[in-house]
Copies of this chain bind each other. A is one copy, B any other.
Amino acid sequence: MSGWRHPARLVVLAFLAATAAGTALFMLPVAAEPGRSTGLLTALFTAVSGITGTGLAVVDTGAHWSTFGEVVLLVLCQIGGFGIMTMASVLALLVSHRLGLHMQLTVKTETNTLNLGHVRRVIAGVVTISLAVEAIGAAVLATRFWLGYDMTLGRALYEGVFHAVSAFNSVGLALYPDNLMRFATDPWICLPVVAVAVTGGLGFPVLFEILRGRSRRRGRWSLHTKITVPVYLGLIAVGTLVVLTVEWSKAGTLGPYGVGEKLLIGLFHGAMPGTAGFNTIDIAQLQPATMLVHDVLMFIGGGSAGTTGGIKVTTFALIAFVLLAEVRAEPSVHVMGRKISAEVQRQAVTVALLGVGVVMTATMILLATTQFRLDDVLFETTSAFGGVGMSTGITAKLPPVAQLVIIVLMFIGRVGSITLVSALALRERRRRYELPEERPIVG
């Protein structure tokens, strides 16, 4: 379980290979508009931003890239979203299997090994669910674009498909320079986008379990689903409440809107930090308190084996359960009738604290190499780590070293936690001898 045969390293390799291919394609003269050329750093940044579904941009997407370049970007987003869902699900399967636990993600087989059949089943499931959700979302959006706006049926269909794909894969790219701000008060656009984005953000294991309805018939969902669904929705509710409370009467954001419109925008912006990162109000106008809450939600991200980055909802929830058990003097962590092993507790803490370390280090480098202040920089770094792609507008102004830091952050945010956890869980644990204990003073 070491060396390059480790499955977690295969995931990293796959993403690196796709990044290299995307970078090369972006550097082709045909990828840029006539008269423009693309340097290595810009091409690399755009490739990683696309593959990780982040959507941060150092050049104006519409103005810089040719149609060919835009198609490359879209394909990278689609490959990235599909790839992460598949690979993260397979890794989760491997981990569950190795630990001898109930195989949540696949129909039980007679044999007790993970074979190509399982992987095929995961791929088939991801493709089916992705296309189905995107199709439904695209149909609803296209209908609205066609009936409610001055579009031909063909254009409306294209826009519907584009934004549904962008939402489900947590990309957050829109076909308008102001993202989705012009649709801020249209529930027929905003609500389908939120629904599709949240569905993609829940992650394949949860979607698979909910949609096949099998576990439910047997009387219960897996613990993973029982944690992810309420915590994810709860985080969206917290985000919504904060946006509404803080921004309600602010002139640059919710102030000009009516009560119903405020509620719609509030829900949209409560959901976006943990999902696709679209925006219907100006991010640069957000209050510092709203930004800090966004930072936290973006850092957490969405469900495991979903299309978002971050440390993931279950990691956050497990840490909360661990703290609760510790403060309540309970020697083991019990959640919804199940025990959380010490190993899983340690993994959650490791993922979260290493994530904090990575984001803080990146933030310090950006602060030291730019003139921007902490509000904007922390927003940028957590947005990159969480694969969200919201920005207060500093991305294109970053010097090369800072752009490199953002590239690394996007990469770590997308593949870091899944590869780390699977590497932790799949490795061999052995120690030849134990030392005597000693207790330093804590606190």
Q: Which residues of A does B touch, CB under 8 Å?
A: 92, 95-96, 99, 101-102, 203, 205, 222-224, 227-228, 245-246, 287-289, 291-293, 296, 304-305, 311-312, 314-315, 317-319, 322-323, 326-327, 329-332, 334, 337-342, 344, 346-351, 353-354, 356, 360, 363-364, 367-368, 372-375, 377-378, 416-418, 420-421, 424, 427-431, 434-443
Contact, CB under 8 Å: B346 / A326: yes
Query: In the bound complex, how far is the Cα of B364 from the Cα of A232, in angstroms?
Result: 21
17 A-B pairs besides A101-B439, A287-B368 with CB distance below 8 A are A102-B438, A223-B438, A224-B439, A227-B440, A245-B368, A288-B373, A312-B441, A312-B442, A315-B443, A322-B350, A323-B350, A326-B349, A327-B420, A327-B424, A341-B437, A344-B442, A375-B375
Q: Write the nearest CB–CB distance from A175 to chain B, whole angstroms.
A: 33
Contact, CB under 8 Å: A329 / B424: yes
Q: Write the nearest CB–CB distance from A117 to chain B, whole angstroms.
A: 21
Q: Write the nearest CB–CB distance from A187 to chain B, whole angstroms.
A: 28
Contact, CB under 8 Å: B312 / A431: no
Contact, CB under 8 Å: B431 / A417: no
User: Which residue on chain B has the smallest CB distance to residue A328?
Assistant: B427
Query: In the bound complex, how far is the Cα of B438 from the Cα of A340, in angstroms?
Result: 6
Residue of B224, B291, B292, B311 touching A440 (CB-CB under 8 A): B224
Tell me which residues across on chain B come within 8 A of A323, comparing CB atoms. Answer: 349-350, 353-354
Q: Write the nearest CB–CB distance from A397 to chain B, whole angstroms.
A: 15
Tell me which residues across on chain B come within 8 A of A293, comparing CB atoms. Answer: 364
Number of copies: 2
Residue of B205, B351, B368, B428 touching A442 (CB-CB under 8 A): B351
Contact, CB under 8 Å: A438 / B338: yes
Residue of B374, B438, B441 touching A288 (CB-CB under 8 A): B374
Contact, CB under 8 Å: B347 / A288: no
Contact, CB under 8 Å: B304 / A443: yes
Tell me which residues across on chain B come within 8 A of A245, comparing CB atoms. Answer: 368
Contact, CB under 8 Å: A427 / B339: no
Contact, CB under 8 Å: B318 / A440: yes
Contact, CB under 8 Å: B326 / A288: no
Q: Write the nearest CB–CB distance from A408 to chain B, whole angstroms.
A: 18
Residue of B291, B312, B318, B442 touching A421 (CB-CB under 8 A): B442
Query: In the bound complex, how far is the Cα of B427 from the Cα of A245, in angstroms?
Result: 40
Cβ-closest 4 pairs across A and B: A417-B443, A289-B367, A421-B443, A304-B441
Q: Write the nearest CB–CB distance from A206 to chain B, whole angstroms.
A: 9
Q: Write the nearest CB–CB distance from A134 to chain B, whole angstroms.
A: 23
Contact, CB under 8 Å: A296 / B339: no
A-B contacts, 17 of them at CB < 8 A, read A223-B438, A228-B440, A288-B372, A289-B364, A291-B374, A304-B443, A322-B349, A323-B350, A326-B346, A331-B431, A337-B435, A338-B436, A344-B440, A348-B442, A348-B443, A373-B374, A417-B443
Take A332-B434, A367-B289, A373-B373 as given contacts and tell me if A99 and B439 are in contact as well, using a CB distance cutoff of 8 Å.
yes
Contact, CB under 8 Å: B292 / A367: yes
